[in-house]
Amino acid sequence: MTHPILAANAAVYAIQNATTEGKITVCILLLLSLFSWTVIITKFRQLHIARKGSKKFFTTYASTRDPLDIKKRGEVFEGSPAWELYDRGAEELLYHLKNNPVAVKPGVIQSAGEGNTDHLSRSIATKISTGAFEAVKVVLEEAAAAQAMSLEKGMIVLSTAVAGGPFIGLLGTVWGVMSTFAGIAEKNQASLTAMAPGVAAALVATVTGLLVAIPAMFGYNFMVTTIRQMTQELDGFATRYANQMEHTYVDNRDLEEKIVGALKRQETADPTALR
């Protein structure tokens, strides 16, 4: 007669002979696996959309000279963290240009051909103060942090599955082996036939824990590397974007030039004021 553990599927046989504690452990691991696979699928989709959208956004942004050009055209790059940061910064800059403007006499006008940032900067008559620009930089920093947190959201589930899955399975195994030996001691039957069902049922918890942890480990390592790369790329873009906004839209004239400009505007408005 063939032994049942050889005739039937080992996993099915082990689960059928598992104790209540072992079945509870397996159910907890299956629930953890469900959350883990949900995060893996969701994050893979999110990162794919983010990378694709950011690639398009960076290509479009590189082709512009005016830091507000994309905002003025109303282009949208859904799912791109870089675009989300850009949009927050552009909105804050436009707010200060509207509510806290600094009038500057235009200098060199941009040519009809391919111009540069210097020509563009000198052709803009309305700018913002350095104090207002500090507020814009704060918004950029907050936006970068918010996008980084959004990319990392849910990763705690995978790290928990990687670190906790095998230990939960090991707990179920040790518990099952203890119950098996306790049962053998009560029945005084120290034979392989008496031990095999209980030990097999106990080991299924460890196998389940490893099946939960291994996919989570590969997914976690891949996504952490991708998120770190995207976060560094985002920080680099934030710095570049802030520099371009400062060069184009911030009034960086010397104090002497600002005083002369203010006096000229006052004299134009009231020629008798300075006499």
| Pair 205, 172: CB distance under 8 Å | yes
Among 90-104, 153-167, 256-270, the minimum mean pLDDT is found in: 256-270
Q: What confidence tens digit (pLDDT) does each residue in 120-179 have?
A: 666 677 788 888 889 999 999 999 999 999 999 989 999 999 999 999 888 888 887 777
Q: What confidence tens digit (pLDDT) does each residue in 183-229 have?
A: 666 666 666 665 666 677 778 888 889 999 999 999 999 999 999 99
At 262 the pLDDT is 54
| Pair 117, 65: CB distance under 8 Å | yes
| Residue 128, beta-bridge partner list | 250
By C-alpha distance, which of 228, 253, 246 is closest to 89?
246
Q: What angle do CA 205, 208, 211 make, to 5 degrees?
A: 155
CA distance 46 to 79: 8
At 274 the pLDDT is 46
CA distance 154 to 40: 9
Dihedral over Cα of 82, 85, 91, 96: its sign: negative
Q: Which two tokens stand for residue 46?
A: 């999110």
At 253 the pLDDT is 64
CA distance 232 to 6: 54
- Average pLDDT on 2-28 reads 65
- With a CB cutoff of 8 Å and minimum separation 6, the contacts of 158 are 36, 39, 40, 216, 219, 220, 223
| Pair 44, 220: CB distance under 8 Å | no
Q: Which two tokens stand for residue 164?
A: 């906790």
| Pair 15, 23: CB distance under 8 Å | yes
At 177 the pLDDT is 79
For 112, the 3-state DSSP assignment is coil
Segments of 104-152 assigned E as strands: 126-127
Q: Which two tokens stand for residue 62?
A: 């590189």
Average pLDDT, the chain: 80
Among 55-69, 84-98, 124-138, 251-265, the minimum mean pLDDT is found in: 251-265
- Look up the pTM and report it: 0.74
HEC sequence for 188-214: CCCCHHHHHHHHHHHHHHHHHHHHHHH
Domain positions in the chain: 18-262
At 132 the pLDDT is 87
